[in-house]
Amino acid sequence: MKSLVVYDSVFGNTEEVARAVAGVLATGGEVAMKRPEEASAADLEGVELLVVASPTRAFRATPATISFIKQLAPDALHRVRVAAFDTRIDVEKIDKRFLSFMVKTFGYAAGPIAKALQKKGGSPAAEPAGFLVGDKEGPLVDGERERAEEWARALIEG
């Protein structure tokens, strides 16, 4: 199975998870990793599984991630299995009540990414996932890398 992981990352945490996911996908075939600014429809040639990942910033994916999906043709992901994940702040660690409320209300990047991929014809390979960082710049919360690897294994088995 040929896979493509398109990931954005500001502080490196989403990249770390993307590398862990790609490592698992590599056990099932060829894998390429691309930043959204560098990825285009040409990279989808022969791809059976597309994973798109972004840090959650202001309740959504990064502009580069959104633009990458937007520029794809309406049926670009026809016959491609798609999955999305984000990284996000552990809400338990946010001490400002208002911010905690906002995060819970306005949500995260992965769900809208998954929806946008399906709008381009992709069929969902997994539920959108979120992996936790302890603070804005990280690090990943203990166990999250392993949880991501488990999520990735289900992508191959599915």
Ligand X SMILES: Cc1cc2nc3c(=O)[nH]c(=O)nc-3n(C[C@H](O)[C@H](O)[C@H](O)COP(=O)(O)O)c2cc1C
- Mapped onto helix, strand or coil, the DSSP state of residue 12 is coil
Distance CA 118, CA 104 (A): 24
Distance CA 155, CA 74 (A): 24
The residue count for binding ligand X (CB under 6 A) is 19
DSSP 8-state class, residue 10: S
The span of 22-30, 50-58, 68-76, 114-122 binding ligand X (CB under 6 A) equals 50-58
Contact pick of 25, 89, 110, 125 for ligand X (by CB under 6 A): 89
Smallest distance from ligand X to CB 103, Å: 5
The answer to whether 65 contacts ligand X (rule: CB under 6 A) is no
Q: How many CA atoms lie within 13 A of 114 on its CB side?
A: 16
The answer to whether 11 contacts ligand X (rule: CB under 6 A) is yes
Strands 129-133 and 31-34: unpaired
Closest CA to 101 of 129, 62, 59: 59
Distance CA 124, CA 29 (A): 19
The span of 24-32, 35-43, 53-61, 147-155 binding ligand X (CB under 6 A) equals 53-61
The answer to whether 59 contacts ligand X (rule: CB under 6 A) is yes
The answer to whether 55 contacts ligand X (rule: CB under 6 A) is yes
Token code pair at residue 13: 């945490």
Q: Which amino acid is at 32?
A: A
By CB under 6 A, the residues from 111 to 150 that bind ligand X are 133, 136, 138
The answer to whether 103 contacts ligand X (rule: CB under 6 A) is yes
Smallest distance from ligand X to CB 68, Å: 16
Chain residues binding ligand X by CB under 6 A are 9-15, 55-59, 87-89, 103, 133, 136, 138
